Structure 1
């Protein structure tokens, strides 16, 4: 979307965030930019006048649909900085022509946001927001898996995406989870388990992504043992027992710290790069 010159630097930054995250609360923008709510409301009015957004109750939304539901946008704002650091670390695992499989979820969506415009590979995904985001990459091939759309999480599920995956092969898959604990990785929704397992079966390398709040958290459905995944990428040092389990399983741990140039801290056990 073109941005008129009369928008300020801060206003252009707000427009960029809207395209990535959908609805943004006024109070969050005021805190991020260190200005008053009134200043942000004036910014929002100017951005709306320029045709880039709509002013809504409590915040601002993009004028163009970006594949987000209100639930998804709210979840995306939780631990947003940690998710961005995780995404940056995941990008370092890629070449510019990889075939990548992106699971649905807000952390994996940040990986879609982090893909550079020079990426010339293929993105396979069951995430509606990831489809919207990656279609903006000029040289990338995007394959949407289709299926039944879950309105809140914006994920496609059911037999259709699973059948589609049976004829595809990715070089690396990024899988979102809800919890890490004794026995491996867990998810909240059992009906998303089959599509995640199908994605894991259709790739050479499996990368599980999880923010620090999901460490030692119980969830409904068991997804995988640590020995079944190649990498776990998180944004803070996990508890000692989790690190020990990863080392025993031969799974590589990547901690995406605040200093991205120091963000990769693998355990000593080598990853199983090819299955």
Structure 2
């Protein structure tokens, strides 16, 4: 018998349903109805809502996750992708941070993994627009947490916009830790223009810049150019990076390190 997932209210049920679909890759309506203890009609309403938000792709009798660049920008999806590699990259990034520094974190799920580790470097000042990182650090007594205001975008679980950019213009961090959507050649790309703008502002507000990127992102492009990899003081990548991409980085003399996941 399929274990039943108990949730309270449609929003919580839909989030749990999305998490289940992301991990499974696809699901049938009857399967979801049994798992969440609701009717087929309720499942269809939930899937319609998730589909309208660009989260899933409804098919006859079932649903799949979307592989489009729009869906891959969603925080809920990204939080389930390459978790082991992100945690390894976060541990490596922590080695580059000293107590007493001001650290800038972007909205990425990889930066959120680093946020979990930062209390080990207390005291620290942490500046971020990512609500997941804020949530993970808010109870840390040795962390001075500076939150960047702006327009909240649920899809990224972060704030962006003019207010966020203006706040960044008045701050200076020792190090900024960021991620990117894709790496093509030696250029980092991001899919969303609003996200790209804030990431660039974060880079400009920091003395040192570290890029954390999963090897699977190499060889792909996205809509907006973020920066050349030479603009980063260090690029941390999991050790699964293909030899051809390593050769490209070596030829361009990019400062990078491969991390065992």
The number of residues matched between the two structures is 200
Distance (whole Å) between structure 2 residues aligned to residue 23 and residue 95 of structure 1: 38
| 2:125 counterpart residue number | 122
Distance (whole Å) between structure 1 residues aligned to residue 109 and residue 36 of structure 2: 23
- Normalised by the length of structure 2, the TM-score is 0.70
Pair 1:214–1:204, CA change in 2 (3 A): same
1:78 aligns with 2:58: no
Pair 1:250–1:97, CA change in 2 (3 A): farther
Alignment equivalent of 2:226, drawn from 212, 223, 228: 223
Summarize the alignment of residues 81-120 of structure 1 with structure 2, pairs less than 5 Å apart.
81-120=84-123
Distance (whole Å) between structure 2 residues aligned to residue 118 and residue 28 of structure 1: 33
Alignment equivalent of 1:255, drawn from 248, 251, 258: 258
State whether residues 117 and 139 of structure 1, in contact with CA within 8 Å, keep that contact through their aligned partners in structure 2: no
Distance (whole Å) between structure 2 residues aligned to residue 97 and residue 168 of structure 1: 16
1:203 aligns with 2:210: no
User: What 5-or-longer segments of structure 1 have no aligned partner?
Assistant: 1-21, 30-55, 59-69, 259-275
- Which of 226-235 and 98-107 deviates more? 226-235
Which structure features the higher share of strand residues? 2
| 2:4 counterpart residue number | none
Pair 1:156–1:238, CA change in 2 (3 A): same
Deviation readout 1:118-164 (Å, 9 max, x if unpaired):
52110000111111111121111000011001111112111111111
Pair 1:146–1:247, CA change in 2 (3 A): same
Report the Cα offset of residue 237 of structure 1.
4.0
- Normalised by the length of structure 1, the TM-score is 0.66
User: What 5-or-longer segments of structure 2 have no aligned partner?
Assistant: 1-14, 24-34, 38-54, 56-73
- Which of 220-229 and 142-151 deviates more? 220-229
Deviation readout 1:202-253 (Å, 9 max, x if unpaired):
1111111111211111111111112211111121242334334433444321
| 1:41 counterpart residue number | none
Summarize the alignment of residues 146-165 of structure 1 with structure 2, pairs less than 5 Å apart.
146-165=149-168
